[in-house]
Amino acid sequence: MNEQNIELGSDLDVEAEHEVAQGDKLQKVLAQAGFGSRRAMEEWIAAGRVSVNGEPATLGMRVVPGDLVKTERRTIRVGERDHAARVLLYHKPEGEIVSRDDPEKRTSVFDKLPKLRGQKWIAIGRLDFNTSGLLIFTTSGELANRLMHPRFAVEREYAVRVQGRMTDEQIEQVLKTGVELEDGPIVFDRLEDQGGEGFNHWYKVMLKEGRNRIVRRTFEALGLPVSRLMRVRFGLINLPPRLKRGMSAELGEGEVAQILDWVGIDTSVPEAPEPAKLPEVRRNSVRSDRAHKGARPDGSRPTGNRNDSRTGNTRPGGRAPRR
């Protein structure tokens, strides 16, 4: 895991230098800021709903740090982070759609999430209507992009129940030679037999692809229909055992910091200037001691007895589960 982090960080540094010189496409910046998909942002730009530094934006325009981008919803300064990233875990039940706009008016996972002011929840990946398990939401477009982009190859883990049992030849095929699908071959990174009773059999599947219905389609191509599918892990984030279906829980600051560090997002902040020295007063000293109670020698504060985010459990400093 640490080696992967080092590789990600070094790649991002090289890319960052190139992007500073060239600038990013406007629709990419808007999408990463959580306004919507790149295609939707292109439509906004074409419709005249976006301006850059007070001038109407045009398709193909690039922006650089410091540019002021204004839309009907809000204004952002390129390169600045207006809010600390927030991350929410949701245990999706079957029968909910991961979309804000469904022509069939089915229940949406977004209806179950806590409301935000001035921000929006961005879904990191999707689960189809009949799939349950871990869904991750964030307010950071940059974090969502890094976790979803294929070049970062984030591993997903699923618990799969199929009708029937895989043969040795089928296991070798999915792990080595690959299963041919209409949009290209697929090879699982790992596959574990979890046993079963009667006609149903459970498997644990790990892969680094997020193609639509990829797990279901792979087993169906082998003649093994999937009767139940549940995502239990996404990268270093596990589905917390105590998070029941239909419930959400927000991660604490420490856990979010671990995730940002894992994907190579710099979380450092400039040091504040030292305050001017005032005459020594006992009352002020007492207040200062209280304000810095529990601080480390370097000025940072301990995160307390919070659990490791790899367990997926929220910490006492995080938000309580919501129904």
7 and 128 both lie in a single domain: no
- 38 within 8 A of 27, measured Cβ to Cβ: yes
Q: What is the CATH number of the domain that holds 6?
A: 3.10.290.10
State whether 246 and 107 are in the same domain: yes
Separation between Cα atoms, residue 259 and residue 264, nearest integer Å: 9
pLDDT digits (tens, 9 = 90+) for 256-305: 989 988 888 876 544 444 544 444 433 333 333 444 344 343 444 444 44
Q: Are 60 and 106 members of one domain? A: no
- Both 51 and 181 in a single domain? no
Residue among 77, 64, 81, 72 at smallest CA distance from 45: 72
Same structural domain, 137 and 257? yes
Q: Is the domain of 57 the same as that of 193?
A: no
CB distance 226 to 215 below 8 Å? yes
Is residue 94 in a domain?
yes
Which range of residues forms the domain containing residue 113? 87-150+239-261
Of 53, 77, 101, which closes a domain? 77
pLDDT of residue 253: 86
What is the domain count for the chain? Answer: 3
In terms of domains, do 120 and 249 share one?
yes
* Residue 246, in any domain of the structure: yes
Q: Provide the pLDDT for residue 178.
A: 93
Q: Give residue 315's region: left, alpha or beta (phi > 0; psi -120 to 50).
A: beta
Residue after which a domain boundary falls, among 234, 251, 281: 234
Instruction: Please indicate, yes or no, if residue 303 is contained in any of the structural domains.
Output: no
- Whose structure tokens read 């997020």? 210
Domain harbouring 211, CATH code: 3.30.2350.10
The residue from 128, 193, 261, 308 that is catalytic is 128
Residue 74 has, within 13 A of its CA and on its CB side, a CA count of 13
Classify residue 277: in a domain, yes or no: no
298 in catalytic set? no
Q: Which of 198, 215, 234 is the last residue of a domain?
A: 234
| 6 and 73 together in one domain | yes
Predicted local confidence at residue 293, as pLDDT: 43
Would 82 be classed as within a structural domain?
Answer: no
Say yes or no: 172 and 35 in one domain. Answer: no
Establish if 122 belongs to a structural domain: yes
Say if residue 59 is in the same domain as residue 201.
no
Q: 């500073």: which residue's tokens? A: 20
The two tokens of residue 45 are 């730009």
pTM of the model: 0.63
Residue 108 and residue 255 in one domain = yes
Residue 291 counted as domain residue = no
How far is 205 from 156, CA to CA, in rounded Å? Answer: 8
Mean pLDDT of successive 10-residue segments in the chain (323 residues)? 33 39 80 74 91 91 89 77 80 93 89 85 91 94 85 92 95 94 94 90 93 93 96 94 94 90 72 46 37 41 46 44 50
How high is the mean pLDDT of the chain? Answer: 78
Do 144 and 161 reside in the same domain of the chain? no
Phi, psi of 110 (to 5 degrees): -65, -20
Domain assignment present for residue 295? The answer is: no
